[in-house]
């Protein structure tokens, strides 16, 4: 029996690329990753590179712009998988040229991992983005390179944690906005499942020169069905607002980049139904879950289960950080990459522009909670300050945050910046009573001014337990239980 193909992944430190590298290595393929030298020193990508090494991945330093080095790397493998980002899709012509020169590649997987671009009817700017991917397909075919295309449809982590609601960090529990009539069928796939299906196709003769669409039946549903599933899980009916297609098209035209890109892709999938409004013809395509019934993929229903126990209003929890050179507003979910609106005053090109705000994508593992200390700030009643018979119990219930540090990057240099101001809002798990914490922290000084507030029963003034609320909220949303000090 022939050994498993040697695989080179280009873009392995990117969003979907890291899953593919890991899946390839764990499946026993000799795995190579083309990484820039700058990735090694990057605080986030450097950790990925170390993980690759631990998995036995061979690292090759370089990028798609170094033709000779790229050809040399390709000659070491049998299969090339491109996972480069959407802004570099056109650069895949350089990969095609290198593969052609190397002359040894048995299969090329260009960067797809989205909708099937040969079966979409999108408006701008998504239309141009899809057309670029289609042009890469035609270039691969014209070069006579053996290929497999893998349209994976929606990334689960991009949409399901918020049910595609802008500005939230958890699925809504009161109201929801639905594009169009909500009846178009869409597909959501967990990222590591996408990687697993992709690697499965590498040595499968059935997938040669075919499109392998990842459209598992249990992950295919309309948006209305998705909302109904979530309502069933939380035992509550959401207030629904439907956005007519005409309004959405107008919003696309009037919105800046990248919002218009996101909206136009959503229009294609959620209104047009471009993910599912065509049949897969065996002459050109196959469905991944039918090809590989042994793969136990995560269903949409299973994916949503992780959000059921989140605090009722924790989606509104936010951190406002005021630094010398940057203003950020974010609602973090540990491990997920999220859009952050930031104003970077250290960037002179932004100082004189009419719209100094820009969208940036950060990984929330950069947010480090150093210490949360549950102590008694006041000795008496939490509202009036009078002595209380339950002061001993309240001492354990009162909360204060002693130190938070945000690790950020400024001008390419990693640094830890003490927070000048922070505001946290969480809600009591048992009664929807708001709990707020304010604090200021003077960097470089032990002097810290803090204020603690314990929620009280409406009309009684009695303290409600909030220790569990804060602890569960933080560990659920940020995963920082190892940093909690009680």
Distance, CA of 350 to CA of 352 (rounded, Å): 6
**Residues with a known catalytic role:** 133
What distance in Å separates the CA atoms of residue 212 and residue 207, rounded to the nearest whole number?
7
| Strands (DSSP E) found in 171-244 | 175-179, 185-189, 210-213, 220-222, 239-243
Beta carbons of 131 and 101 less than 8 angstroms apart: no
By DSSP bridging, strand 239-243 and strand 185-189 are: unpaired
Q: In whole angstroms, what is the distance from residue 3 CA to residue 222 CA?
A: 42
- The DSSP line for 187-201 is EEE-HHHHHHHHHHH
| Alpha helices, H only, 55-124 | 67-74, 92-102
CA of 150: how far to CAs of 147, 194, 270, in Å? 10, 9, 20
In 10 A of CB 152, how many CB atoms? 27
- Euclidean distance between CA atoms 208 and 292, whole angstroms: 15
């Amino acid at each position: 029996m022939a050994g498993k193909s040697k695989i080179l992944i280009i873009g392995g430190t990117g969003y979907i690329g890291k899953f593919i590298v890991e899946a390839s290595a764990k499946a026993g393929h000799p795995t190579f990753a083309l990484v820039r030298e700058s990735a090694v020193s990057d605080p986030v990508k450097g950790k990925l590179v170390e993980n690759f090494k631990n998995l036995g991945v061979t690292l090759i330093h370089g990028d798609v712009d170094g033709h000779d080095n790229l050809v040399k790397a390709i000659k070491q493998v049998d299969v090339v998988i491109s996972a480069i980002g959407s802004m570099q899709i056109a650069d895949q012509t350089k990969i095609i040229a290198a593969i052609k020169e190397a002359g040894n590649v048995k299969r090329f997987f260009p960067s797809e991992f989205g909708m099937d671009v040969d079966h979409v009817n999108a408006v701008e700017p998504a239309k141009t983005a899809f057309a670029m991917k289609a042009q890469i397909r035609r270039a691969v075919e014209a070069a006579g390179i053996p290929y497999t295309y893998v349209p994976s449809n929606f990334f689960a982590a991009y949409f399901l944690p918020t049910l595609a609601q802008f500005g939230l960090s958890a699925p809504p529990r009161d109201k929801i906005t639905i594009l169009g009539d909500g009846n178009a069928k869409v597909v959501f796939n967990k990222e590591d499942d996408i990687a697993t299906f992709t690697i499965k196709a590498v040595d499968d003769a059935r997938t040669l020169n075919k499109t392998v669409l990842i459209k598992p039946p249990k992950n295919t549903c309309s948006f209305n069905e998705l909302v109904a599933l979530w309502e069933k899980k939380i035992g509550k009916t959401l207030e629904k607002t439907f956005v007519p297609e005409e309004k959405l098209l107008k919003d696309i035209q009037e919105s800046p980049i990248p919002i218009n890109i996101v909206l136009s892709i959503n229009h294609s999938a959620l209104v047009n139904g471009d993910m599912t409004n065509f049949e897969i013809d065996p002459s050109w395509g196959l469905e991944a879950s039918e090809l590989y019934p042994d793969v136990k993929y995560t269903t949409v229903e299973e994916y949503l289960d992780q959000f059921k126990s989140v605090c009722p209003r924790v989606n509104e929890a936010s951190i406002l950080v005021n630094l010398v050179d940057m203003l950020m507003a974010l609602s973090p979910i540990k491990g997920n990459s999220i859009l952050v609106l930031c104003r970077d005053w250290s960037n002179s090109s932004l100082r004189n522009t009419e719209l100094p705000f820009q969208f940036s994508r950060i990984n929330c593992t950069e947010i480090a909670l150093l210490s949360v200390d549950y102590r008694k700030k006041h000795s008496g009643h939490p509202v009036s300050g009078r002595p209380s018979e339950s002061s001993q119990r309240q001492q354990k219930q009162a909360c204060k945050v002693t130190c938070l540090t945000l690790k950020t990057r400024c001008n390419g240099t990693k640094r830890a910046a003490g927070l000048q101001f922070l505001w946290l809002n969480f809600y009591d798990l048992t009664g929807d009573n708001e709990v707020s914490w304010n604090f200021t922290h003077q960097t470089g000084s032990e002097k810290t001014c803090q204020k603690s507030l314990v929620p009280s029963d409406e009309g009684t003034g009695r303290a409600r337990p909030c220790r569990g609320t804060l602890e569960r909220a933080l560990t659920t949303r940020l995963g920082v239980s190892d940093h909690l000090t009680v």
